[in-house]
Amino acid sequence: MRFFSRNHIFHRSYWDSKYSKGVAFLRSYARFRETKSQQGFTQKDYALRNAGWSMSMYLSRGAVHGYTDLIPSFSQPQEKKYVAPVEELTSAIRTAGKKLGIHEIGFTKTNHEFHYADKFDQYNPSRKLPPPKLEGLDNCIVIAVSVDYDPLKTTPSAITGVDAGGGYSLCTTQGLSLVDFIHGLGYNAILSLNDTALCIPYAIEAGLGEYGRNGLLINETYGPRFRIAKIFTDIPVTHDSPKKHGVEEFCNNCNNCSSSCPAKAIPDGPPSVNIHNISNIQGVKKWTVDAEKCYNFWLNINTECGICIRTCPFNKDLDKFWHRMYVKIIFNPLRKLKLYKTLLKIEKSIGFDKRVKPKKWWESETFKK
C-alpha cells in the first residue's frame, strides 16, 4: 500500500493540531527565531545549522526540507541526443556524478510502488493533489552524499544540522549539476529529494546499502552518515541490484541506537510488520521507528536529533587515518567473524559513540589553520 505523504510526520505539522508547533520549527530552518544560552543551542550554533541547510532550503524554493516538490531545474535538455551504447551512458553519468562530488551513485528502474499516493501542499493542507506522473522517466539514478562525522558527534545540538543539512544541500546543488549533465546529453531528468517517493527503497534497489535498525540506509563505506536523492530520467542506463553487507545480522545483535534514543522511538526487537501510527509505512516487515516519538523529541530540543547516527557502529570517519585503520584491523574482521559482542565492547571502551561538547567542537584545533 502506497504511503500518503500528508501523513509524513513533518507534514502533519500543517494539519494535525498535536504537531502545530512543527510549522514554526520547520520554518526556522530558513530563518531561526529562538536560541538559548546553552552550548550547542546558541545563535552561533543555529547560524551554522542554517548555513548548512541553506542551499537545500533555497533551491527547493520554499518546499520544506525538499519534502513536497521536485527540485526545479535551471537547464533544459539539448535538442540533439548523444547516442551511445547504454554502458557508455551509464559509465558517463557515474563519472560525471563522482567528479561533481557525489559519493555514491546507483541505477534502477522507476518503481511507482515507492512513490507517495498523493502530493502534499503545505500552504493548503486539505487540498487533494495527485502525485507527479513522471511520464517516460522510467529510470531512477540514486545519488548519495556523505558528510563529516565531527559535527554529528555533538548531537543533540544545532551544530549537527551543518552536517545533515550540508548533505541535503550537496544533494541539491550537485544533483542539479548532474541533471544539467543529462540535459546536456539531450535527455530529460528531474531531481527529487524527499518529495515524490521514498528514498531508502530506491537506494536499496540501486545497491547503495542495507536497511538498519535505526530506520536508515547503512552504506558499506559511509555507514548511516549519508543523505540520499534521486534523479528520474529517460536516459538509457543499466540497472544495479541490491547488495548485502551483513547489516541485518549486525543490527540483530546490536542495540546501540535503540538503547541510546532518549525518545525510545527505536525498536529493540526483531523486524516486524507492526506499525506505531499513521506516519509509518504499512505492510513491510522491518524495524519501524516511532516517528511521533522521534519528532516530539526534535520539537522539544528545537532542532533535528541524530543520536541514532552518532551511536551507530557503522559510522566512522574515513577521512581520518586512525578511523580507517580501526575499521580495517578491528571493526571489519570482528564483524565478519560475527564476534559482535566483543566488537561492541571495544566500541564502548574506545568511546566511539560519546557526545563531544559543542563548545569543545567550536574550539577544535582542526579548523584553526
Beta strand extents in 130-216 (DSSP E only): 139-145, 189-192, 210-211
Q: Rule CB under 8 A: is residue 186 a binding residue for a copy of itself?
A: yes
- CB closer to a copy of itself, 169 vs 233: 169
Judged by CB, which is closer to a copy of itself: 96, or 305?
Answer: 96
Residues binding a copy of itself: what is the number (CB under 8 A)? 55
| Angle, CA of 65, 48 and 158, to the nearest 5° | 70
Q: How far is the CA of 303 from the CAs of 28, 115, 147, 358, in angstroms?
A: 9, 27, 18, 14
My answer on whether omega of the bond before 156 falls inside 30° of 0, hence cis, is yes
Cα–Cα distance, 229 to 115 (Å, whole number):
13
Task: Look at residues 94, 121, 124, 125 and name the one whose alpha carbon lies nearest to residue 206.
Answer: 94
CB closer to a copy of itself, 136 vs 184: 184
Main-chain dihedrals φ then ψ at residue 150, nearest 5 degrees:
-60, -35
Cβ proximity to a copy of itself: between 89 and 261 the closer is: 89
What is the rounded distance in angstroms from the CA atom of residue 149 to the CA atom of residue 361?
12
Nearest approach, Cβ of residue 204 and a copy of itself (Å): 18
Site for a copy of itself in 328-367 (CB under 8 A): 362-364, 366-367
Tell me which residue of 4, 283, 13, 15 sits closest to 130, measured CA to CA: 4
Binding mask 254-293 for a copy of itself (x = CB under 8 A): ----------------------------------------
Residue 75 is a binding residue for a copy of itself (CB under 8 A): yes
Please report whether residue 100 would count as binding a copy of itself according to CB under 8 A: yes
Instruction: Determine if 55 is a binding residue for a copy of itself (CB under 8 A).
Output: yes
Binding flag, residue 176, a copy of itself (CB under 8 A)? yes
Amino acid at 349: S
Among 4, 15, 82, 340, binds a copy of itself (CB under 8 A): 82
**Closest to 267 (Cα-Cα) out of 297, 288, 298, 291:** 288
Contact set with a copy of itself (CB under 8 A):
30-32, 42-44, 46-48, 50-52, 54-55, 57-58, 74-76, 78, 80, 82, 84, 91-92, 94-96, 98-101, 148, 151, 162, 166, 169-170, 173, 176-178, 180-186, 362-364, 366-368
